[in-house]
Chain A
Amino acid sequence: MKTRGRFTISSGLMGAALCGYLVWVLFPMVWVAYSSFKADAAIRTEPLSPPRWAEIDGAGYVRAWHEARFGDYVLNSVLVTGISVALILVLGSMAAYALSRFHHRLGRLVYTLFLAGLTMPAQLAMVPLFFELRALGLLDSRPGLILVYSANGLPFAVFILAGFFRSLPRSLYEAAIIDGCSEAGAFWRVMLPLARPGLITVAIFQFIGIWKEYFFAFMIVGGGDGGARTLPLGLANLAITAQYRGDYGMLFAGLVMVTLPILVVYLFLQRQLVSGITAGAVKG
Chain B
Amino acid sequence: MATVVISNLEKVYTESKGPGVKVVHGIDLEIKDREFMVLVGPSGCGKSTTLRMVAGLEEISSGTISIDGTVVNNVLPKDRDIAMVFQNYALYPHMSVYENMAFGLKLRKFPKAEIDARVREASAMLGLDAYLDRKPKALSGGQRQRVAVGRAIVRKPKVFLFDEPLSNLDAKMRVSTRTEISKLHARLGATMIYVTHDQVEAMTMGDRICVMKDGRIMQVATPLELYNKPENVFVAGFIGSPPMNFLKGCLQKSSAGGALLEFIETNDKAAPVRFMLDAALSAKGASHVGRDIIFGIRPEDVQDTGTSTAPNPAHTIEVKVEVSEPMGAETLLYLTTGVTNFIARVRPTDRFEVGQSVKVTFKIESAHLFDAATEQVLK
- Chain A residues with a Cβ under 8 A of chain B: 169, 171-172, 174-182, 185, 190, 193-194, 196, 276-284
A178 CB contact (under 8 Å) in B55, B92, B139, B144: B55
Q: Does B320 contact A (CB under 8 A)?
A: no
Bound CA–CA A62/B136 (angstroms): 52
Q: Which of B81-89, B249-257, B352-360 contacts A (4 or more CB under 8 A)?
A: B81-89
Q: Are A179 and B138 in contact (CB under 8 A)?
A: no
- Chain B residues with a Cβ under 8 A of chain A: 55-57, 76-78, 82-84, 86-94, 103-104, 107-108, 135-139, 141, 144, 151, 155, 168
CB distance from A191 to the nearest CB of B (A): 10
Q: Are A181 and B107 in contact (CB under 8 A)?
A: yes
Q: Are B92 and A172 in contact (CB under 8 A)?
A: yes
A283 CB contact (under 8 Å) in B76, B141, B151: B141
B137 CB contact (under 8 Å) in A176, A182, A185, A280: A280
Bound CA–CA A182/B86 (angstroms): 19
Name A177's closest neighbour in chain B (CB-CB). B77
Q: Are B92 and A175 in contact (CB under 8 A)?
A: yes
Bound CA–CA A190/B103 (angstroms): 10
Name A278's closest neighbour in chain B (CB-CB). B93
B94 CB contact (under 8 Å) in A178, A277, A284: A277
List 13 additional contacts besides A169-B90, A276-B137, A280-B139; criterion CB under 8 Å.
A169-B88, A174-B86, A175-B90, A177-B56, A177-B77, A178-B56, A178-B77, A178-B83, A178-B104, A179-B104, A194-B93, A281-B88, A281-B136
CB distance from B178 to the nearest CB of A (A): 17
Q: Are B91 and A281 in contact (CB under 8 A)?
A: yes
Q: Are A178 and B82 in contact (CB under 8 A)?
A: yes
Q: Are A280 and B135 in contact (CB under 8 A)?
A: yes
Say whether, besides A171-B86, A277-B93, A180 and B141 are in contact (CB < 8 Å).
Answer: no
Say whether, besides A193-B94, A279-B93, A279-B137, A178 and B84 are in contact (CB < 8 Å).
Answer: yes
Bound CA–CA A172/B57 (angstroms): 12
Cβ contacts under 8 Å, A278 to chain B? 93
Cβ contacts under 8 Å, A279 to chain B? 93, 137
Q: Are A180 and B78 in contact (CB under 8 A)?
A: yes
Name A168's closest neighbour in chain B (CB-CB). B93
Name B103's closest neighbour in chain A (CB-CB). A179
CB distance from B358 to the nearest CB of A (A): 46
Bound CA–CA A181/B94 (angstroms): 16
Q: Are A180 and B108 in contact (CB under 8 A)?
A: yes
Cβ contacts under 8 Å, A177 to chain B? 56-57, 76-78
Cβ contacts under 8 Å, A174 to chain B? 55, 57, 77, 84, 86, 90
CB distance from B108 to the nearest CB of A (A): 5
A281 CB contact (under 8 Å) in B93, B104, B141, B168: B93
Name B108's closest neighbour in chain A (CB-CB). A180
Bound CA–CA A194/B135 (angstroms): 13
Q: Are B138 and A280 in contact (CB under 8 A)?
A: yes
Bound CA–CA A277/B137 (angstroms): 9
CB distance from B22 to the nearest CB of A (A): 20
Cβ contacts under 8 Å, B135 to chain A? 280
- Counting chain A CB atoms within 10 Å of each CB, the highest count among B56, B82, B107, B151 belongs to B107
Say whether, besides A169-B90, A194-B93, A283-B168, A180 and B104 are in contact (CB < 8 Å).
Answer: yes
Cβ contacts under 8 Å, B91 to chain A? 175, 280-282
Bound CA–CA A174/B58 (angstroms): 10
Q: Which 8 pairs between the two chains have the least Cβ-Cβ distance?
A: A280-B137, A282-B88, A280-B136, A180-B107, A171-B90, A179-B104, A281-B93, A175-B90
Cβ contacts under 8 Å, B57 to chain A? 174, 177-178
Say whether, besides A179-B78, A181-B78, A194-B93, A283 and B88 are in contact (CB < 8 Å).
Answer: yes
Q: Are A178 and B88 in contact (CB under 8 A)?
A: no
Name B136's closest neighbour in chain A (CB-CB). A280
Q: Are A281 and B78 in contact (CB under 8 A)?
A: no
CB distance from A65 to the nearest CB of B (A): 42
A-B contact list, 10 entries, CB within 8 Å:
A171-B86, A175-B90, A175-B151, A178-B82, A178-B83, A178-B84, A179-B103, A193-B94, A283-B89, A283-B168
CB distance from A249 to the nearest CB of B (A): 48
- Counting chain A CB atoms within 10 Å of each CB, the highest count among B93, B104, B107 belongs to B93
Cβ contacts under 8 Å, A194 to chain B? 92-94
Say whether, besides A178-B77, A179-B103, A181-B78, A281 and B92 are in contact (CB < 8 Å).
Answer: yes
Bound CA–CA A194/B95 (angstroms): 10
Bound CA–CA A177/B82 (angstroms): 11
Say whether, besides A178-B77, A180-B104, A185-B107, A190 and B92 are in contact (CB < 8 Å).
Answer: yes
CB distance from B146 to the nearest CB of A (A): 14
Cβ contacts under 8 Å, B108 to chain A? 180
Q: Are A281 and B107 in contact (CB under 8 A)?
A: no
Cβ contacts under 8 Å, B107 to chain A? 179-181, 185
Bound CA–CA A179/B151 (angstroms): 9
Cβ contacts under 8 Å, A180 to chain B? 78, 104, 107-108
